Amino acid sequence: MSEPEQWHGTTILTVRKGGKVVIAGDGQVSLGSTVIKGTARKVRPLAGGKVIAGFAGATADAFTLFERLEAKLEQYPDQLMRACVEMAKDWRTDRYLRRLEAMMLVADKKHSLVLTGTGDVLEPENGVMGIGSGGNFALSAARALVDMDLTAEEICRKSMTIAADICVYTNSNVTVEILDEE
């Protein structure tokens, strides 16, 4: 008996450089080898625009996580790290949440974080991190470009183009959200 087809892949990238933090994500949703949608929006602002977030994984799971993170941000305003740690605790221990298959990149003016269902809340080194099936391709490209005379947005866009050229689960329909570090 074969396994059922799985929703698969995406690429989410964050770069923090030059007083800006950027999260970019592609728009492809795949089921096995079939592209179901090419214009999904996997990156969005939260907390009234003070936080930006992107997800990789099952879409319904990601929406649940966005809602949970938004609630934690309301509970702990202007405390992204605390909100993420509290959400990661819930994600790991709650019977419903721990079945969710997704990862998130979140950022505010001070912090960029990776959240996982295993309870991880990690701050990327050098302000650059990628997740999803094309995440390592985009991460590699961004690391190569980060020391060049490019803005955080330019690095994200170029890196996402490279990932889309390599990863079959990533397309070039990119959504970008930007915050000033101030």
Residue 23 lies in a domain: yes
Residue 122 lies in a domain: yes
152-170 pLDDT, tens digit per residue, is 999 999 999 999 999 999 9
Q: Which structural domain range is residue 168 located in?
A: 7-174
- Residue 64 is assigned to a ligand binding site: no
**Model-level pTM?**
0.92
Task: Please tell me the predicted confidence (pLDDT) of residue 96.
Answer: 65
Which pair of tokens denotes residue 162? 């490279």
Residue 181 lies in a domain: no
60 or 40: which leads in pLDDT: 40
Catalytic one of 10, 11, 14, 175? 10
Enumerate the β-bridge partners of residue 105. 54, 114
Per the rule left: phi > 0, alpha: psi between -120 and 50, beta: everything else, 126 is left
**Confidence class for position 120, pLDDT limits 50, 70, 90:** confident
Task: Please tell me the predicted confidence (pLDDT) of residue 8.
Answer: 53
**Confidence class for position 102, pLDDT limits 50, 70, 90:** confident
| pLDDT at residue 4 is higher than 50 | no
Angle between helices 80-93 and 59-75 (to 10 degrees): 130
Q: Is 10 a catalytic residue?
A: yes
- Write 115-118 long-range contacts (CB < 8 A, 24+): 115/65, 115/69, 115/84, 115/87, 115/88, 115/91, 116/88, 117/91, 117/92, 118/92
CATH code: domain of residue 154: 3.60.20.10
- Residue 152 is assigned to a ligand binding site: no
- Residue 164 is assigned to a ligand binding site: yes
Task: Please tell me the predicted confidence (pLDDT) of residue 31.
Answer: 84
Is the CB of residue 70 less than 8 Å from the CB of residue 50? no
Is the CB of residue 83 less than 8 Å from the CB of residue 75? yes
| pLDDT at residue 6 is higher than 50 | no
**175 closest CA partner among 36, 38, 20, 42:** 42
Please tell me the total count of domains within the chain.
Answer: 1
Residue 164 lies in a domain: yes
Residue 179 lies in a domain: no
Residue 150 lies in a domain: yes
